[in-house]
Chains A and B, each alone.
Chain A
């Protein structure tokens, strides 16, 4: 698709393109950029576009380290709070198989609710201290377990037709397309325009399918990394000041990024380098 037209579509002044139109434009772009990739394979991120790293990833997937985290996460998920309540009481379907419903726009609080934020909200409601969002640990383990129980479920984020929800979506979209940092890159630069090409020693993953496989066990970190920690990592790499985990910026970005993964299945937790 013509790059100029695409930019025009995303930045049209006055009348915004609807999220549905954005999603169509997004999908069309990747269809023409990678004609041989089957839509569902985008859930595998960079491995959908790079065969040599895919082989190594498949080798690790034979017995991936995140299996340890899933087990730990399940145990943590089932330990009652000091007041006797359990995590299951905070979520629909007792918290099993629900990851694909996140993030959603919470019309009561007028903000995007992510799964990790919901986990800490549950803890607060039950008199427990919040868990750290970065550096792995129990939050990432529980997130991994909940992703695991949701494997195979299709992402189908619906943006309610109200001003605040659309604002949050547009905010996330704007962040995705804005140039940032000393290297002056936008998310779109690496993950749309240059997706699948070499960026020094890395191959950039396509923008469709980014959120399906989080949290990821990273070989380089030797632990789980959540989506917001990855956002922060990317911003660091382009020498921009990262935002804080689970604040408006990343939650809105996650809202936009996940909406762009509609139609793909949850396949987290994942293994990455």
Chain B
């Protein structure tokens, strides 16, 4: 897991699609993350695989926070999130996450 992966040569874990229609921007995001609950056991060693899941997802549009999301380990692996806010084409949308092991990532797109 990369700590900070928002550099050009490292693929972001965050894929974002943002589309504006009638003054509302619908944001859809898919994040690459194991979302490990901490309950699964390693089949070989029998030990529990440590929990590793995204706890917080924040989205800003043009620098202003539009939603703050708290997730628990019951959110599916490679989690998906969709939400809607009042916005315009051309909005700069920045999505970031923080997990329980202190890792983060963020990514930006322009609303179409």
Contact = CB atoms under 8 A, between A and B. Distances in A.
Contact of B80 (A63, A71, A72, A75): A63
B11 A67 contact: no
Interface residues of B, number: 13
A135 B82 CA distance: 29
A65 B11 contact: no
Interface residues of A, number: 11
A75 B78 contact: no
Contacts of B78: 65, 68, 222
Interface in A57-104: 62-65, 67-68, 71-72, 75
Would you call the interface of chain A mostly helix, strand, loop, or mixed? loop
Nearest to A62: B28
B30 interface: yes
A68 B28 contact: no
Nearest to B17: A63
A68 B15 contact: yes
Contact of B32 (A64, A68, A219): A68
The winner among A65, A72, A222 for most chain B CB atoms within 10 A is A65
Contacts of B34: 222
Nearest to B81: A63
7 contacts: A62-B82, A65-B77, A65-B78, A71-B11, A72-B11, A75-B11, A222-B78
